Homo-oligomer: A and B are copies of this chain.
Amino acid sequence: MDPAEILSICQVKYAYFRLLDMKRFAELGELLTEDATTAYQSGELHHDGRDAVVAFLQESLGDPGIVTMHNGHHPEIELTGSDSATGRWYLEDRVIVPAHDFELHGTALYDDRYVKVGGRWKISHTGYERIYEEHLRYSSGEVRSIRAAGQTTTF
């Protein structure tokens, strides 16, 4: 356990979430290794390389009419070498699209990998498995569906 390394890794992830919700995707890319991979949304959305990740984020969330909240809690970081580490995180996220009267709200568990490159920690892999995911009619607050434990309930 090296607290300085662990807090440094956490700060990379915190910057990732901040830049994501501020739609500063190019700067977010700097936090990833060039060959970083992703497995978002229980692996349904996967990307190979920083450029592919940044392009995906720009395309799916770049519209200023899409409002997002990505909060990463509960860092369980483990150093696996002097320049490598794994991390578990507990995500709560919201994606709000007022123009479509739509909101996604949910939680997930991240499984990340980090490497130290030129003295700086970077994300070499990031992905998450959903715990639950709700779809809502945004303006009324009505839940249209919730998916959890492999089961979808619709209302």
**Chain B residue nearest in CB terms to A21:** B131
Size range of the interface on A? Answer: 35 or more
Find out whether the CB atom of B132 lies under 8 angstroms from the CB atom of A18: no
CB-CB under 8 A for A74 and B74, given A90-B18, A107-B21 = no
Chain B residues with CB below 8 A from A118, complex form: none
Q: Which residues of A (103-135) have their CB < 8 Å from a CB of B?
A: 107, 109, 131-132
User: Which of A26-34, A35-43, A44-52, A140-148 makes up part of the contact surface?
Assistant: A140-148
A139 to B136 alpha-carbon distance, docked (Å): 9
Hey, which chain B residues are within 8 Å of A99, CB to CB?
A: 153
Q: What chain B residues lie within 8 Å of A96 (beta carbons)?
A: 132, 146
